C-alpha cells in the first residue's frame, strides 16, 4: 500500500474535516447532513445541496468490521488488523479505492426509490459497470472494478430495497497480479481489489485508468503541498522537528490544516457557480454567502491573486437590477430573500494590500461598476424617506442573524452598516480618481453619512442602533454596535478609546464574544448571541490596529490564533470554554487564522531583524 510520508504527519480528524480535493463537488465523510454524523464514512455530493450517496462499509469474511480511519490531504485509509482500504481523489469527480485483506460494501444511502426521490441501481451492458442514479443530486455514480470480484445486490429494484455493490479480492488472481494492465494502465497490488467511483452526468466513455493508484496519491500530494507552501510560506520557514510541542510547531501544523480546509472546500465552476469557488464548508454550510467570501479572498490574495479576485467577484456575478447581491449562492440555489452587509469596500482595501499581482485597469473598472451598484442599492433602496441612514430589514441582512440588537425590532438602522458604507463610499471615491472618472459624488456622500452616524447614533461613550420606524433605541448589548471601530484612523477624537473600553468588556480568554458573557441574553451556543466568530474578530482586530490600539489588536489576534490551534476551524466557538461549535470545517475561520498567522510571523521576523 501507499508510502504515507512524514511531513508534519498531516493527519486531520475526518469527523470534523471532510476528505476531498480542490475542484471536487464530492467528499468522503461520516457527516451526512446538518449536525448528523453516520456510523460509516459516506460518499457525499454537494450538487443541489448536501446529499449522502453511498455508505462505505469495510468488511471481512462478508461481515462488517470495525476499522480505524486515518485522513491526510492526499489519502484516506481504513485500518484493521486483517487489512486496509485506501481512497484517493484521482480527479474532481473520480475516487479511486483499493483494499488488501478487507472487502468493501457500497450501500445506497437513501434505501427507497420513489417517483421523485432515491436511487436506482443497474449494471450497464456497455461496460459492465455498476451504476447508481440519484434523484437528490441529479447525477449518476459509476463503479468500475479494476481488480477483484464484484457482487451487485438490488439491481433493477424499485421502491424500498437493499441496493449495494460489494467488492472483494478475486479468489484466483491470474492476470490480475501485480503490475497487470487494465486497458493499458498499470493497476497496483498483488492481492486485493481496486475500483473507481465516478460522478457523471448522462453518459461518459467507459472508465480507463490513466495512472496507477500510487501515482494518483503522489500527484494529489504534490498539488496540495504546493498550495499549502504558497498560502503559508512562513509555516515552512518555521517547520518544526517531528512531534515538537513548541508554539511554532503548533502554528505551522495548524496553518497546514487551515490550508487544507480551504483547498478541499474549493469547487470547480458548475450550476450557478461560474468561477472556481471556495465554499464555506463541504459539510452542510456548502454555499457562498455574500460576505463570507471576502475573508477567503483576503487569505488567497498573496499566494493565488486571480483566485482571490474570483472569490471577491463571485456574488457580483449575480447582482440584481437594484444592485443588490444575493444572500447566498451554491450549485443549484441562488437566494435573494436577504442580503449581507456591505463590507466589500473594506475587503477590497485589504485585498489590494496583499495582492502580489496588481489589478488591471479592466479589473478595476469591473470592480468599480459592481461596487457602485451595490452601494447605490443601500443608499437608494434601504433608506426611509428623509433619513440619511440605511436600514437592515432583518438580522440576516447584517450577517449577525439573531444578535440581540434585533430583539426589540428587526428593522433597524445600525452603526456597523453606516460605518461599512462610509468606508465603501471613500473606496469608490478613490477608485473614481484612479480611473479618471469625473463627476462622482462619493466623497460628499461619505461625509454626509459619517456625520449622520455621529449625530444620530453616537451617545458620547458608545454607538447605538435605532428602529427604522420610530427612531427608538434598539437596545441589546451585542458586539455588533461596536463595529464602527472598523473606521480605524478616521474615528473622531476620543471615540477609539471609548470603543476599546466596550470591546474589552466583551473580551474573553479566546477573543471578543458577540454578546457579553454576563448578559442575561448570553447563550453559550447561541449563534450570534455569545459565541466568538472569525469575521467579527477580524473586523475588530483590523479596526483597532488602524485606530492605533495596537495592544488590543495584538491581544485579539493572539487569542484567536490560540483558539484555532486548540479547537480547529469551527463555524464559531464557545466564548468561555473555547470549544468549537456548529459546522467544524469553516473556511472563513481558516482564512482569518491564516491572515492573522501571516501577520504575526511577519511581526516576529521584523522583531528578530532589529
Residues 403-445: tens digit of each pLDDT: 999 999 999 999 999 999 999 999 999 999 999 999 899 999 9
Q: Say whether pLDDT at 2 is over 70.
A: no
Which single residue is written with the C-alpha cell 498499470?
186
**Is 322 inside a domain boundary?**
no
**Is 9 inside a domain boundary?**
no
Grouping H, G, I as helix, E, B as strand and the rest as coil, residue 286 is coil
**Is 304 inside a domain boundary?**
no
* pLDDT recorded at residue 239: 53
Q: Residues 188, 211: contact at Cβ < 8 Å?
A: no
Grouping H, G, I as helix, E, B as strand and the rest as coil, residue 405 is helix
pTM of the model: 0.94
* pLDDT recorded at residue 187: 41
Q: Which domain holds residue 429?
A: 335-605
Domain stops at, among 169, 193, 226: 226
- The CATH number covering residue 441 comes to 1.50.10.10
Gap between the Cα atoms of 193 and 398, Å rounded: 52
Predicted confidence band of residue 236 (pLDDT cuts 50, 70, 90):
confident
Strands (E), 306-457: 328-330, 333-335, 412-413
Gap between the Cα atoms of 286 and 264, Å rounded: 12
**Is 361 inside a domain boundary?**
yes
- Percent above pLDDT 70 for the chain: 93
Average pLDDT (385-402) is 97
How many Cα atoms occupy the beta-carbon half-sphere of 298 within 13 Å?
Answer: 30
Residues 219 and 348 in one domain: no
Residues 219 and 347 in one domain: no
Residues 220 and 339 in one domain: no
Residues 216 and 343 in one domain: no
Gap between the Cα atoms of 49 and 293, Å rounded: 18
- Surface-to-core class of residue 351, CB atoms within 10 Å of its CB (0-12 exposed, 13-18 middle, 19+ buried): buried
Average pLDDT (511-536) is 98
**Is 190 inside a domain boundary?**
yes
Q: CA end-to-end span of the chain, whole Å?
A: 50
- Percent above pLDDT 90 for the chain: 90
Domain stops at, among 226, 259, 279: 226
* pLDDT recorded at residue 186: 38
Residues 203 and 347 in one domain: no
Domains contained in the chain, number: 2
**Is 272 inside a domain boundary?**
no
Gap between the Cα atoms of 186 and 230, Å rounded: 32
How many Cα atoms occupy the beta-carbon half-sphere of 103 within 13 Å?
Answer: 18
**Is 398 inside a domain boundary?**
yes
Predicted confidence band of residue 333 (pLDDT cuts 50, 70, 90):
very high
Residues 202 and 60 in one domain: yes
Beta carbons within 8 Å of 243's beta carbon, 6+ residues apart = none
Grouping H, G, I as helix, E, B as strand and the rest as coil, residue 20 is coil
Domain stops at, among 175, 209, 226: 226
Mean pLDDT of the chain: 93
User: Nearest-CA neighbor of 119 among 168, 173, 155, 69?
Assistant: 155
Span of 3-7, 38-42, 436-440, 445-449 with lowest mean pLDDT: 3-7
**Is 162 inside a domain boundary?**
yes
* pLDDT recorded at residue 608: 84
* pLDDT recorded at residue 455: 98
Span of 135-144, 371-380, 498-507, 597-606 with lowest mean pLDDT: 597-606
Q: What is the pLDDT of residues 259-271, one digit of tens each?
A: 999 999 999 999 9
Predicted confidence band of residue 588 (pLDDT cuts 50, 70, 90):
very high
User: Nearest-CA neighbor of 415 among 393, 391, 447?
Assistant: 391
Amino acid at each position: 500500500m501507499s508510502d504515507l510520508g512524514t511531513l508534519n504527519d498531516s493527519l486531520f480528524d475526518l469527523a470534523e474535516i471532510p476528505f476531498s480535493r480542490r475542484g471536487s463537488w464530492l467528499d468522503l465523510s461520516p457527516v451526512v447532513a446538518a449536525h448528523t454524523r453516520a456510523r460509516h464514512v459516506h460518499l457525499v455530493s454537494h450538487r443541489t445541496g448536501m446529499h449522502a450517496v453511498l455508505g462505505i462499509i469495510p468488511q471481512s469474511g462478508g461481515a462488517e468490521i470495525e476499522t480505524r480511519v486515518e485522513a491526510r490531504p492526499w489519502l484516506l485509509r481504513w485500518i484493521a488488523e486483517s487489512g486496509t482500504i485506501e481512497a484517493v481523489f484521482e480527479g474532481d469527480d473520480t475516487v479511486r479505492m483499493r483494499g488488501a485483506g478487507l472487502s468493501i460494501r457500497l450501500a445506497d444511502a437513501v434505501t427507497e426509490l420513489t417517483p421523485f426521490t432515491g436511487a436506482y441501481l443497474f449494471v450497464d451492458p456497455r461496460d459492465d459497470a455498476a451504476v447508481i442514479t440519484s434523484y437528490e443530486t441529479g447525477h449518476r455514480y459509476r463503479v468500475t472494478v479494476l481488480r477483484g470480484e464484484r457482487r451487485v445486490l438490488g439491481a433493477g429494484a424499485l421502491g424500498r430495497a437493499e441496493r449495494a455493490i460489494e467488492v472483494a479480492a478475486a479468489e484466483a488472481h491470474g492476470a490480475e497480479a501485480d503490475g497487470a494492465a487494465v486497458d493499458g494502465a498499470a493497476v497496483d497490488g498483488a492481492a486485493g481489489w481496486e475500483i473507481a467511483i465516478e460522478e457523471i452526468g448522462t453518459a461518459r466513455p467507459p472508465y480507463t485508468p490513466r495512472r496507477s493508484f500510487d501515482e494518483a496519491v503522489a500527484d494529489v500530494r504534490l498539488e496540495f503541498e504546493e498550495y499549502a507552501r504558497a498560502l503559508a510560506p512562513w509555516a515552512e520557514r518555521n517547520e518544526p522537528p517531528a512531534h515538537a510541542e513548541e508554539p511554532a510547531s503548533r502554528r505551522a501544523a495548524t496553518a497546514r490544516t487551515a490550508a487544507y480546509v480551504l483547498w478541499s472546500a474549493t469547487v470547480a465552476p458548475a450550476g450557478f457557480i461560474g468561477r472556481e469557488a471556495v465554499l464555506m464548508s463541504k459539510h452542510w454550510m456548502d454555499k457562498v454567502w455574500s460576505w463570507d467570501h471576502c475573508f477567503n479572498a483576503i487569505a488567497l490574495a498573496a499566494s493565488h491573486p486571480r483566485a482571490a479576485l474570483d472569490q471577491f467577484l463571485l456574488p457580483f456575478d449575480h447582482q440584481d437590477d437594484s444592485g443588490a447581491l444575493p444572500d447566498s449562492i451554491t450549485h443549484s440555489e441562488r437566494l435573494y430573500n436577504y442580503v449581507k452587509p456591505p463590507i466589500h469596500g473594506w475587503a477590497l482595501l485589504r485585498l489590494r494590500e496583499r495582492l502580489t499581482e496588481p489589478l488591471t485597469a479592466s479589473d478595476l473598472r469591473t470592480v468599480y461598476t459592481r461596487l457602485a451598484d451595490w452601494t447605490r442599492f443601500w443608499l437608494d433602496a434601504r433608506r426611509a424617506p428623509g433619513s440619511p441612514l440605511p436600514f437592515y430589514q432583518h438580522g440576516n441582512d447584517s450577517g449577525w442573524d439573531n444578535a440581540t440588537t434585533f430583539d426589540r425590532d428587526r428593522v433597524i438602522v445600525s452603526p456597523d452598516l453606516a460605518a461599512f458604507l462610509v468606508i465603501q463610499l471613500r473606496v469608490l471615491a478613490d477608485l473614481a480618481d484612479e480611473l479618471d472618472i469625473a463627476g462622482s459624488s462619493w466623497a460628499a456622500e461619505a461625509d454626509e453619512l459619517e456625520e449622520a452616524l455621529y449625530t444620530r447614533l453616537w451617545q458620547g461613550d458608545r454607538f447605538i442602533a435605532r428602529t427604522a420606524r420610530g427612531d427608538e433605541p434598539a437596545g441589546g448589548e451585542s458586539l455588533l454596535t461596536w463595529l464602527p471601530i472598523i473606521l480605524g484612523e478616521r474615528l473622531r477624537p476620543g471615540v477609539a478609546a471609548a470603543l476599546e473600553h466596550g470591546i474589552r468588556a466583551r473580551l474573553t480568554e479566546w477573543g471578543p464574544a458577540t454578546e457579553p458573557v454576563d448578559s442575561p441574553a448570553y447563550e453559550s451556543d447561541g449563534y450570534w448571541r455569545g459565541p466568538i466568530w472569525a469575521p467579527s474578530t477580524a473586523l475588530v482586530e483590523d479596526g483597532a490596529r488602524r485606530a492605533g490600539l495596537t495592544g488590543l489588536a495584538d491581544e485579539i489576534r493572539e487569542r484567536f490564533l490560540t483558539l484555532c490551534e486548540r479547537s480547529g476551524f469551527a463555524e464559531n466557538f464557545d466564548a468561555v470554554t473555547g470549544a468549537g461549535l456548529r459546522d467544524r470545517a469553516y473556511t472563513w475561520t481558516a482564512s482569518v487564522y491564516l491572515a492573522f498567522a501571516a501577520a504575526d510571523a511577519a511581526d516576529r521576523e521584523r522583531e528578530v531583524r532589529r
